[in-house]
Amino acid sequence: MINFIDIEDSKPFHELKKLYENACKHNQDYVEAMCIGSYSLRNKEISSRFVNLKFIKNNEFYFFSNYNSPKSLDFKNHSQITSTFFWSRINSQIRIKGKIFTADKDISDKHFLSRSIEKNALAISSKQSEKISSYNEVINNYESTLNFLKNSKELNRPDYWGGFYFIPYYFEFWIGNKYRINQRKEFFHGDNGWEENILQP
């Protein structure tokens, strides 16, 4: 689920919330899953992956990750990203372009402490995307970390794990229709605020 916290009072954000609520009404699986695209300056290539959007506050979209992961390094070196939601139950897609930033430490701390001990054990034990000898080693690292946390009096967020947020400057809302006569609407944030256009299918 996505938590909406005092979201921006503008048409694209209201459109997003309306579609989200409709998707939830239709029991959309993984409604919080969004595909994030980033650009690697080092490898000169684009890559994408799914992450879970946790909340939107004002105009900021928040998710959390390992700060040493490939995507995090992409974000730090190239601040423009794309994001896509597809909610099959209502045949709707939302494409977003935005600028990405590292979240404040207090936001990352608060979110980390709100999670289950099992999720945090993985966040601590995994050096995300680094090569490892076997899956059994992943399980052993996880279980030893989990046991340690269960016997620990304090739980502190590691400095290599935390939040990111992006601020959109572009939305496209796509609603599928019969014979592919799809509805498409875009919003671009210019000097005079959000500008709206209708697009052909």
List the domain boundaries for the chain. Answer: 3-115+158-199
CATH code of the domain occupying 3-115+158-199: 2.30.110.10
Q: How confident is the model at residue 154 (pLDDT cuts 50, 70, 90)?
A: confident
* DSSP letters for 36-88: EEEEETTTTEEEEEEEE--EEETTEEEEEEETTSHHHHHHHH--EEEEEEEEG
Asked whether the predicted pLDDT for residue 152 surpasses 90, the reply is: no
Summarised one tens digit per residue, pLDDT across range 17-61 is 999 999 999 999 999 999 999 999 999 999 999 999 999 999 999
* Residue 139, phi-psi category: left (phi > 0), alpha (psi -120 to 50), beta (remainder): alpha
Rounded to the nearest integer, the mean pLDDT of the chain is: 96
Would you state the pLDDT for residue 173? 98
- pTM of the predicted protein model: 0.94
Q: 132 is written with which tokens?
A: 């490892």
Amino acid at 173: F
Summarised one tens digit per residue, pLDDT across range 53-90 is 999 999 999 999 999 999 999 999 999 999 999 999 99
**Residue 124 CA to chain centroid, in angstroms?**
20
Would you state the pLDDT for residue 111? 97
Would you state the pLDDT for residue 87? 98
Asked whether the predicted pLDDT for residue 153 surpasses 90, the reply is: no
Beta strands in 53-181 (DSSP E): 55-57, 60-66, 80-87, 92-102, 161-175
